[in-house]
């Protein structure tokens, strides 16, 4: 079986940057890996991602949002995660079921028990083996994310969540730290305020320690 590693954190915490660097590191060591993301990772997931992250012209209810993330995850697990695990790959996944607990549970206020049940249903009980949380103050994370969005200059920017109040992002950060506190065997928290190279060294350390196991 492969190894399922997820990267979590508030927006702009550096997940994409670190996953890319970790992929390069594994490639140089000839370790077979797969990079994927949620929402996304499959053709259906990418369509759902557009609905969820672009501002759009219609309102999305909190319930519809929760179910769309779950629908994308169900397809992602079936088409991408399970086959890659069977092939023995190391999976580097940008967000997974913990994101739903953090955003829709701690952030939007849905029952955590209900979300856990929904997560079990959409994942068939598949959970990450290791979860890296990149932690930093929300003001800095949102600033980094907005700068990246402006740099990209997309016609339909993926900024629906970044436009939430800072208090929403504070709840997400607290949510991740609470999840990590309750499952220290799976979570590793990294201070994402440090420079990119220092963060990368810490990510490498935890990932390689886990892989060598």
Quote the least distance from Cβ 143 to ligand Z5A, whole Å. 9
Q: Which of these segments, 4-12, 74-82, 84-92, 109-117, binds ligand Z5A (CB under 6 A)?
A: 4-12
Tokens of 101: 């607990």
Quote the least distance from Cβ 47 to ligand Z5A, whole Å. 14
- Tell whether residue 148 is a contact of ligand Z5A (CB under 6 A): yes
Quote the least distance from Cβ 213 to ligand Z5A, whole Å. 26
CB 133, CB 115: distance < 8 Å: no
* The one among 4, 6, 17, 22 contacting ligand Z5A by CB under 6 A: 17
Number of residues binding to ligand Z5A, judged by CB under 6 A: 28
What length is written for the chain? Answer: 213
Closer Cβ to ligand Z5A, 56 or 88, answer by number = 56
List the beta bridge partners of residue 26. none
Closer Cβ to ligand Z5A, 2 or 107, answer by number = 107
- Tell whether residue 106 is a contact of ligand Z5A (CB under 6 A): no
DSSP-derived secondary structure for 71-87: HHHHHHIIIIIHHHHHT
Pairwise CA distance, residues 50 & 79, whole Å? 19
In a 13 Å sphere around the CA of 95, the CA atoms on its Cβ side amount to: 24
DSSP 124: T
**Torsion angle of the four alpha carbons 208, 119, 144, 205, in this order, in degrees rounded to the nearest 10:** -10
Contact residues: ligand Z5A, CB under 6 A: 9, 11-17, 38-39, 53, 69, 94-95, 99-100, 103-104, 144-145, 147-148, 161-162, 192, 195-196, 199
């Amino acid at each position: 079986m492969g190894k399922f590693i997820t990267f979590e954190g508030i927006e702009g915490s550096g997940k994409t940057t670190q996953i890319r660097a970790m992929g390069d590191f594994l490639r140089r060591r000839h370790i077979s890996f797969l990079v994927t993301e949620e929402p996304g990772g499959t053709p259906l997931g990418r369509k759902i991602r557009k609905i969820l992250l672009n501002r759009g012209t219609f309102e999305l209810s909190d319930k519809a949002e929760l179910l769309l993330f779950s629908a994308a995850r169900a397809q992602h697990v079936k088409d991408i995660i399970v086959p890659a695990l069977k092939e023995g790959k190391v999976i580097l996944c940008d967000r997974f079921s913990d994101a739903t607990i953090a955003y829709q549970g701690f952030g939007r206020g849905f029952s955590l028990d209900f979300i856990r049940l929904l997560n079990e249903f959409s994942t068939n009980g598949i959970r990450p083996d290791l979860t890296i949380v990149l932690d930093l103050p929300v003001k800095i994370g949102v600033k980094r994310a907005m700068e990246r969005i402006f740099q990209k200059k997309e016609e339909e920017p993926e900024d629906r969540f970044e436009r939430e109040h800072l208090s929403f992002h504070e709840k997400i950060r607290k949510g991740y730290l609470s999840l990590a506190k309750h499952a220290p065997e799976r979570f590793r928290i990294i201070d994402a305020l440090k420079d990119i190279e220092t963060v990368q060294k810490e990510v490498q350390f935890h990932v390689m320690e886990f892989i060598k196991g």
